[in-house]
Every structure is written in C-alpha cells, then in structure tokens.
Amino acid sequence: MKKLVIIALYIYAVMLTTFTASAATEWHTANQTTIAWDQEYTVEDVTIPTDEVTWDVFIANATTDPDKTNPVKVGTATEQQYTITLNTEGKYIVGVQTVRTVDGKILKSSTITWSDSETNPFGIKYFVIPDDPYNIRIQ
C-alpha cells in the first residue's frame, strides 16, 4: 500500500510539473515576430571570429509536436536576431542553434535552445484572419 501511495504521489507531481510548465509559457499572437538571443564569442580564452558564427532558427508546433522531435528550420541568421513570419495557423515554440563555420564548411552545431526552456518561456501563435464581408444586401 505504501508503494502505491508513493507511485501515485510521483505521478501527481510529474503531471503538476508538466501542467505548470506549459501554463507558464507566455503566448504572443502575431503573424510576424522578431526574436533575439545572446551569444558569447569567447570560449576557453579563444575569441571566435563573428563571421564564422551563424544561427539556425526553428519552430515546432506546440500542438502536433510538443516534444519538438520534428522541428522545422525557418531560416539562418547572421545577427543575434531573426524575424519569423508565420503563414500556417497554430501555436509554435521557437528554437535557435549556433552553427560554427570554418573555411565555408560547418565545423559544429550546438543543440537547439528552445523558447519554452528559458527563464521567461514564450511561444508564438498565429490565427488566420477571415476575408472582409462582401455582397451585403437586404434579405
């Protein structure tokens, strides 16, 4: 019986943590959103040339891909910001990956950092706006 209570409490804690994390995500509604991030260019006393660093920007559909296993690359940024334009209705989590290039070849890519795993978790959502009404008449 004691094991059953412990298992039930564990399941409850996992569910509560999952609900709290998703509820804490701040959703921004827009068809176009500019995101920005910080990046250090010095690692272990080595300064990386800024022209050798780019960032791949991804989105993952929060409804159909909540685990972010099939992210979609929406572009590559050469500065520490990127404007995402959405044209498909939905809720999306944003991800950014650092890419180091040397002599035109990709040397290393970082893991993707997701917007819902940061200190201030956020996502973006887009809703299609219906066309204007037309053919107004008396019935």
Percent of the chain with pLDDT over 70: 83
**Both structure tokens of 46:** 């080595």
Q: Which residue has the tokens 């891909």?
A: 65
Residue 96 and residue 80 in contact, taking contact as beta carbons nearer than 8 Å: no
Report how far residue 14's alpha carbon sits from residue 23's, in angstroms, rounded to the nearest whole number.
Answer: 14
Domains, the chain, ordered by start? 26-126 (2.60.40)
DSSP string covering the chain, please? -HHHHHHHHHHHHHHHHHHHHHHTPEEEE-SEEEEE----SEETTEEPPGGGEEEEEEEEETTT-TT-SS-EEEEEESSSEEEEE--S-EEEEEEEEEEEEETTEEEEE-PPEEGGGSSS-EEEEE-PPPPPP------
Q: Is the pLDDT of residue 17 over 70?
A: no
Establish how many alpha carbons lie within 13 A of residue 50's alpha carbon, considering only the half-sphere containing its beta carbon: 6
Report how far residue 105's alpha carbon sits from residue 34's, in angstroms, rounded to the nearest whole number.
Answer: 28
Q: What is the pLDDT of residues 46-55, one digit of tens each?
A: 888 888 999 9
- pLDDT of 76: 97
pLDDT class for 3, splitting at 50, 70, 90? low
